[in-house]
Amino acid sequence: MLPHGREDYEFVRDTGLLQELQDRGDLIRAEPVDRDILAAEAPDACYVLAHPRLGVVSFPYEWSFPALKDAALLQLNVHLAALERGVTLSDASAYNIQFEGPRAVFIDYLSFGRYREGEFWNGHRQFCEQFLNPLLLTSLTGVPFQAWYRGNLHGISPVELAPLLPMRRRLSWRVFMHVVLQSRLQTPKVADEATRVSRMKLPLEGYKRMLTSLRDWISGLTPSRHRTTQWEGYATDNTYSEGDARRKQAFVAEFVAGVQPRLLLDLGCNTGEYSAVAVRAGARSVVGLEADHGALDAAYHRARAGGLPVLPLYCDALNPSPSQGWAGRERPGLTERLHADAVLALALIHHMAIAHNVPLGQVVDWIIDFASAGVIEFVPKSDPMAQRLLQLRRDIFADYVEDAFLAHVKRRAEVVATLRLEQSDRLLVWYRR
């Protein structure tokens, strides 16, 4: 906290708002500590706040639809609580929110400042770009927002979104106001008029009504039903017999109990079934990665409903989010941010090796690099799921055999235990390196 922010911070702290939000779990806990610990980096600092370390830092383009929606609602709720105490938020950046398991938490103490009577909502446009418009894109057109958001870290502007919306949607008054009108009025000609309006006073009640109306609207948004999803039904529609499924769960549970990971990474987590098994077996937290939006949303809902410390994130295993933003370093790549003690790669490698032609040895290396212990499932070509991947293409995967897989694992690690699934002939390997 530097001198120019001192007055605002002291004012906000003394209103009791920070304590209230911390107690609700909406604001990350942070306590002032001795300023000298940052004497070298920030000699001018008047306050230094320390907060508990987050399990993993994630960005909005990695969140599921329901996660971005929860983050949007948190942003509005924090702002409304602030206004009740004469405090406001200077911005509305989605990057000010992080997740602890499936729970959104506000992290930016510097966003709070004294509310001045009649002031406008400075963060309105940013809120639209970083929360509302990505949600509307998926809700009204069925197009997932993640790829676009990753391509433009500022989110989706009204000018870009408006032309994509069906006419029927554009005429809904809320879409009309926040998207269509905002896109039409974003011109230099309007600037003079805006200057005139900005000298007027926005009544506090009007300000709050705008926030509550957005909250009501966003609460009711759901992803469009037209959205394609391939793997959502996988947990109920797969090639395991009931006995095999039970043995696979027991094997994973035994592995987790043996390793006691602080953070377990569930690659290709699907609807989060095995993430939940891992938590029950003693994993302190789980991050799941999944590229199918329907499965990802289901995994998030499962974690929310069960109060599980599981955060499912959107990730195409063949193209995880890169290091990007200012100077290419502002938002580090996803794999750099994951510091896991254990990894699960169940029913995953045939997608990478057969569907996407990644050499089997590279797939195994990529998985083992994540953590010093893990379970990898080998799905043989004879398996119906692998057959489905092969049915429309020539089999050029002579090296995709179990012996080769085991040799790749043993080149990097020690095999602690294995489990053969009888019906499907799949093999689970517990490695330790």
Partner 1 sequence: MAYLDPGSASIIIQGLIAGLVGVGALCKLYWRRLRTLVVGRKTGPLD
Q: DSSP readout, 12-73?
A: HHHHTHHHHHHHHTSB---EEE-GGGGTTT-TT-S-EEE-PPPS----GGGS-HHHHHHHHH
Residue from the set 69, 79, 150, 178 that interacts with partner 1 by CB under 8 A: 178
Instruction: Identify the CA nearest to 299 among candidates 325, 318, 273.
Output: 273
The stretch near partner 1 (CB under 8 A) out of 192-200, 230-238, 266-274, 375-383 is: 192-200
Of 179, 134, 174, residue with least CA distance to 156 = 134
Q: Which stretch binds partner 1 (CB under 8 A): 57-65, 79-87, 187-195, 401-409?
A: 187-195
- Closest by alpha carbon to 353, among 428, 294, 404? 404
Figure out which of the listed residues 34, 40, 117, 200 binds partner 1, where binding follows CB under 8 A: 200
Stretch that binds partner 1, among 50-58, 115-123, 319-327, 396-404 (CB under 8 A): 115-123
The residues near 190 (Cβ < 8 Å, ≥ 6 apart) are none
Member of 19, 198, 212, 222 binding partner 1 (CB under 8 A): 198
Q: Is 191 near partner 1 (CB under 8 A)?
A: yes
Binding of partner 1 at residue 163 (CB under 8 A)?
yes
- 180 lies in the site for partner 1, by CB under 8 A: yes
Binding window for partner 1 (CB under 8 A); candidates: 38-46, 200-208, 229-237, 285-293: 200-208
Of 40-48, 121-129, 139-147, 407-415, the segment contacting partner 1 by CB under 8 A is 121-129
Q: Pairing relation of β-strands 285-290 and 310-314? A: parallel
| Residue 222 DSSP SS3 | coil
> Among 123, 134, 261, 374, which residue interacts with partner 1 (rule: CB under 8 A)?
123
As measured in angstroms, the least distance from the Cβ of 159 to partner 1 is 9
Under 8 Å between Cβ of 125 and 182? yes
* Contact assessment for residue 88 and residue 119, using Cβ atoms and an 8 Å cutoff: yes
For residues 94 and 128, the answer to whether their CB atoms sit within 8 Å is: no
Smallest distance from partner 1 to CB 5, Å: 7
Structure tokens, 41:
């980096």
Alpha-helical runs (H) found in 85-203: 124-127, 133-136, 146-151, 158-161, 167-170, 173-175, 182-185, 188-198
Site string for partner 1, 70-99 (x = CB under 8 A): --------------------xx--------
For residue 112, the surrounding DSSP H or E stretch is: strand 112-114
Token pair recorded at residue 304: 């929310």
Interface segment toward partner 1; rule CB under 8 A; list 120-128, 359-367, 379-387, 416-424: 120-128
| Member of 10, 36, 193, 422 binding partner 1 (CB under 8 A) | 193
CA angle 85, 90, 96 (to 5 degrees): 100
**Of the candidates 20, 39, 122, the residue with the CA atom closest to the CA atom of residue 77:** 20
- In this structure, the dihedral spanned by the alpha carbons of residues 204, 210, 216 and 221, taken in order and rounded to 10 degrees, is -150
Q: Does 50 help bind partner 1 (rule: CB under 8 A)?
A: no
How distant is the alpha carbon of residue 211 from its chain centre? Answer: 24
Touching partner 1, residues 261-280 (CB under 8 A): none
When binding is defined by CB under 8 A, the residue of 13, 29, 103, 125 that contacts partner 1 is 125
126 binds partner 1 (CB under 8 A): yes
Give Cα 220 distance to the centre of its chain: 20
The piece of 46-54, 195-203, 229-237, 293-301 that touches partner 1 (CB under 8 A) is 195-203
Query: Is 395:429 a contact under the CB 8 Å cutoff?
Result: no
User: Is 122 an interacting residue with respect to partner 1 (CB under 8 A)?
Assistant: yes
CB of 8 to partner 1, least distance (A): 6
Site mask for partner 1 (CB under 8 A), range 141-160, x = bound: -----------------x--
Task: Kindly calculate the radius of gyration of the chain based on its CA atoms and give it in whole angstroms.
Answer: 24
Residue 3 makes contact with partner 1 by CB under 8 A: no
Q: Which of these segments, 1-9, 144-152, 241-249, 395-403, binds partner 1 (CB under 8 A)?
A: 1-9
Q: Is 212 in the site for partner 1 (CB under 8 A)?
A: no
Figure out which of the listed residues 207, 314, 378, 430 binds partner 1, where binding follows CB under 8 A: 207
User: Which residues lie below 8 Å from residue 279, measured CB to CB, with a gap of 6+?
Assistant: 286, 308, 309, 310
Residues that bind partner 1 (CB under 8 A): 4-5, 8, 90-91, 110, 113, 120-126, 128, 158, 163, 167, 170-171, 177-178, 180-187, 189-191, 193-195, 197-198, 200-203, 206-207, 209-210
